[in-house]
Amino acid sequence: GDMRPDKRTEKRLFEKEIQQTTGINFDNYDNIPVETSGHDVPDPIEVFDPEVIGEDLYRNVQLCGYLKPTPVQKYSIPIASANRDLMACAQTGSGKTAGFLFPIIITMLRNGGTEPPGGVRGRRTYPECLVLA
């Protein structure tokens, strides 16, 4: 489908004045040790970079008022974006959902939708991803 931004929808969703979305003070968590395993684990990100997450996702992150990735997102976005397996454990409200979904959204925006099996077109739809929680 068409994944281009719709300016009217963006305006409707984000017309309120942007307020900084903080919740938990994540600056306090920057020094918490994070354990990763495996070979050649991708380095964590420190900022939402449009070159990493794409211009469209970056713009939406800004519209939502998010300033920087949460600790779990710093690690999960590059790991999952590298098509690596990921298991993350963090408190409620720590950004795990975005940490798992951003790589899926990044891939969909970069590569477009998946071609249906056998080249079938028409009214059928097919999943782009499967999330098990």
The residue ranking higher by pLDDT, 6 or 99, is 99
pLDDT of residue 3: 64
pLDDT of residue 58: 94
Write out the two tokens for 36: 């990763």
Please name the residue that has the structure tokens 């309120």.
Answer: 16
Task: Give the pLDDT confidence of 95-117 residue by residue, as tens digits.
Answer: 899 999 999 999 988 888 777 77
pLDDT of residue 2: 64
Q: Hey, what domains does the chain have and what are their CATH numbers?
A: 7-26+41-114 (3.40.50.300)
Task: Report the predicted TM-score, pTM, of the whole model to 2 decimal places.
Answer: 0.75
Q: What is the mean pLDDT of residues 14-40?
A: 70
Task: Give the pLDDT confidence of 35-76 residue by residue, as tens digits.
Answer: 888 899 999 999 999 999 999 899 989 988 888 899 899 999
Please name the residue that has the structure tokens 């009214």.
Answer: 123
125 contact partners, CB below 8 Å, separation of at least 6: none
The pLDDT of residue 119 is above 90: no
Helix, strand, coil percent content, the chain, rounded in steps of 5: 40, 0, 60
Average pLDDT, the chain: 82
Write out the two tokens for 47: 């900022």
Write out the two tokens for 97: 């959902």
What are the angstrom distances between the C-alpha of 100 and each of 24, 48, 91, 123, 127? 19, 15, 15, 29, 16
Taking alpha carbons only, the member of 76, 90, 71, 68 closest to residue 41 is 76
What are the angstrom distances between the C-alpha of 86 and each of 1, 12, 40, 47? 28, 34, 14, 20
